[in-house]
Amino acid sequence: MTVPFEQLPEKIREIAAELGFQAVGITLPETGVHGEYLQKWLAEGLHGEMAYMADHGDKRYTPTSLIPGTLRVISARMDYLTAPDSPAEVLNDREKAYIARYTLGRDYHKLIRKRLVQLAKAIDELVQGHDYRAFTDSAPVLERALAQRAGLGWIGKNTMMINRQAGSFFFLGEIFTTAPLPIDTPYEKDHCGRCSACLDLCPTNAFVGPHKLDARRCISYLTIELKGAIPEELRPLMGNRVFGCDDCQLVCPWNRFSKPSGEQDFQPRHSLDNSQLASLFLWSEEEFLARTEGSAIRRTGYEGWLRNLAVGLGNAPSTIPVIEALKARQDHPSALVREHVAWALAQHRGRS
Ligand code: SF4
């Protein structure tokens, strides 16, 4: 098939839409000022225990160091919210577990990577002989910086990529290609304006300032990345958020424009969108492994799962199911779990 050079981006967008992507942009393999921001952020130690963020030298912010020969980066967006959903209702019910919306269904990595490879193969029919690599949160790549430069939106004060028509509840993926495709115009506007709702609302005050997150205070980091004990002073602030946190997105006015995804894989599994903390806490390890098979929640491990839920239960109302669930785990073999359970029970004793 012969498509005129200047019409290639439109053709690629057409194919991408058929593959379930809501937007696609093309940019040069450069991240501009974002590389400097990353280095400064790392130098300040704001990444906490995420050593992998600093592990790859300049590869994370120089796409041509990661994949030599890359001429263009194709950035693709896939929305993930499902309908009907009532995140605020779950968040406000302290006996329920709030789990970040991106992780309620099947792990997105495989699905998005597969679609990106399909897209790259289709591009190969248009521009023969190009080499490509497809990534979605699977390699050291500054995804949001590349997406901004590919015209998909701006990076909000909450550090999320935001699109005026779609909000921020979406995944990003990239194809690094040697095809010299026409590039899109970077998205230079910033529509946050004078709003600071995300910075003001963050439960743990994790934002040092606009566009700057102290990961060590971020609930996503505390519940997913951190391996040891959660700092005690942060536990009461975490409420019922047991795997990730969406507060800085839920409060963002641009998320009025989020649209539900039709992807079956993103549909919540095992009622994880609306479950009681106590019932999740009573899952055996076998149940945890069975019910999180193919889910990103596996990443925290069973011990981390119980640790997080114990904190949620410590912040829950002192009802019989809450207290009984905690007591059932008082003698858990893991010292980490026992310590968080003891903390949670002390919260309830303190209140009574
Ligand atoms: S809540 Fe306001 S400041 Fe924060 S990202 Fe959204 S628009 Fe920007």
Beta carbons within 8 Å of 254's beta carbon, 6+ residues apart: 156, 162, 163, 164, 167, 168, 191
- Residue 150 in domain: yes
Which residues, in sequence order, are bridge partners of residue 275?
97
Kindly state whether residues 251 and 108 are assigned to the same domain: no
Active site residue 331: no
Question: What digits encode the pLDDT tens for the residues 26-45?
Answer: 999 999 999 999 999 999 99
Kindly state whether residues 171 and 224 are assigned to the same domain: no
Ligand 1 pocket mutation pick from 189, 195, 211 by most atoms within 8 angstroms of CB: 195
Q: Count CA atoms within 13 Å of residue 283 on its CB side.
A: 23
Q: What's the total number of domains in the chain?
A: 2
Question: Where a domain ends, among 127, 144, 177?
Answer: 177
Helix (H, G, I), strand (E, B) or coil at 132: strand
What pLDDT, on the 0 to 100 scale, is given for residue 139?
A: 86
Q: Which residues lie with the beta carbon below 6 Å from any ligand 1 atom?
A: 156-158, 162, 192, 195-198, 251-254
Helix (H, G, I), strand (E, B) or coil at 177: strand
pLDDT classification of 1: cutoffs 50, 70, 90: low
pLDDT classification of 351: cutoffs 50, 70, 90: confident
Kindly state whether residues 273 and 318 are assigned to the same domain: yes
**Cα 165 to ligand 1 centroid, rounded to whole Å:** 14
Q: Count CA atoms within 13 Å of residue 156 on its CB side.
A: 24
What is the distance between the alpha carbons of residues 259 and 279, in angstroms, rounded to a whole number? 31
Residue nearest to atom 1 of ligand 1 (CA): 252
Beta carbons within 8 Å of 55's beta carbon, 6+ residues apart: 140
> φ, ψ for residue 176 (rounded to 5)?
-90, 125
Q: How far is residue 267 from each of residues 10, 85, 211, 263, 264, measured CA to CA in Å?
A: 30, 10, 30, 7, 6
For residues 343 and 351, the model is more confident at: 343
- Residue 347 in domain: yes
Residue nearest to atom 3 of ligand 1 (CA): 196
Domain ranges, residue 245: 197-351
Kindly state whether residues 265 and 154 are assigned to the same domain: no
**Cα 44 to ligand 1 centroid, rounded to whole Å:** 24
Is there a contact between 171 and 82 (Cβ–Cβ < 8 Å)? no
Structure tokens at 213: 């997150």
Kindly state whether residues 126 and 212 are assigned to the same domain: no
**Cα 157 to ligand 1 centroid, rounded to whole Å:** 6
Atom of ligand 1 nearest to the CA of 196: 3
Ligand 1 pocket mutation pick from 144, 154, 158, 194 by most atoms within 8 angstroms of CB: 158
- Residue 88 in domain: no
Atom of ligand 1 nearest to the CA of 251: 1
Kindly state whether residues 158 and 215 are assigned to the same domain: no
Question: What digits encode the pLDDT tens for the residues 67-95?
Answer: 999 999 999 999 999 987 789 999 999 99
Atom of ligand 1 nearest to the CA of 158: 5
Kindly state whether residues 159 and 280 are assigned to the same domain: no
**Catalytic residue, candidates 58, 93, 131, 137:** 137
**Cα 27 to ligand 1 centroid, rounded to whole Å:** 25
Kindly state whether residues 167 and 209 are assigned to the same domain: no
**Cα 160 to ligand 1 centroid, rounded to whole Å:** 9
Kindly state whether residues 164 and 287 are assigned to the same domain: no
Residue nearest to atom 4 of ligand 1 (CA): 198
Question: Where a domain ends, among 177, 209, 230?
Answer: 177
Output the pTM of the full model. 0.95
- Residue 208 in domain: yes
Residue nearest to atom 6 of ligand 1 (CA): 252
- Residue 90 in domain: no
**Cα 161 to ligand 1 centroid, rounded to whole Å:** 10
Residue nearest to atom 8 of ligand 1 (CA): 192
Q: How many residues does the chain have?
A: 352
What is the distance between the alpha carbons of residues 175 and 134, in angstroms, rounded to a whole number? 4
- Residue 188 in domain: no
Ligand 1 pocket mutation pick from 155, 161, 196 by most atoms within 8 angstroms of CB: 196
Kindly state whether residues 10 and 131 are assigned to the same domain: yes
- The percent of residues in the chain predicted with pLDDT above 90, rounded, is 92
Kindly state whether residues 163 and 297 are assigned to the same domain: no
Angle at Cα 152 formed by Cα 147 and Cα 156, nearest 5°?
A: 80
Rounded average pLDDT over 340-346: 98
Question: Where a domain ends, among 125, 147, 177?
Answer: 177
- Residue 151 in domain: yes
Q: Which of 121-125, 155-159, 200-204, 277-281 has the lowest mean pLDDT?
A: 121-125
Which residues, in sequence order, are bridge partners of residue 26?
74
Kindly state whether residues 236 and 150 are assigned to the same domain: no
Q: How many CB atoms lie within 10 A of CB 33?
A: 9
Beta carbons within 8 Å of 46's beta carbon, 6+ residues apart: 208, 212, 213, 214, 215, 216
What integer best gives the mean pLDDT of the chain? 95
Residue nearest to atom 7 of ligand 1 (CA): 192
Helix (H, G, I), strand (E, B) or coil at 207: strand
Asked if residue 352 has pLDDT above 90, the reply is no
Asked if residue 17 has pLDDT above 70, the reply is yes
Rounded average pLDDT over 158-180: 97
- Residue 164 in domain: yes
**Cα 188 to ligand 1 centroid, rounded to whole Å:** 16
Rounded average pLDDT over 227-245: 98
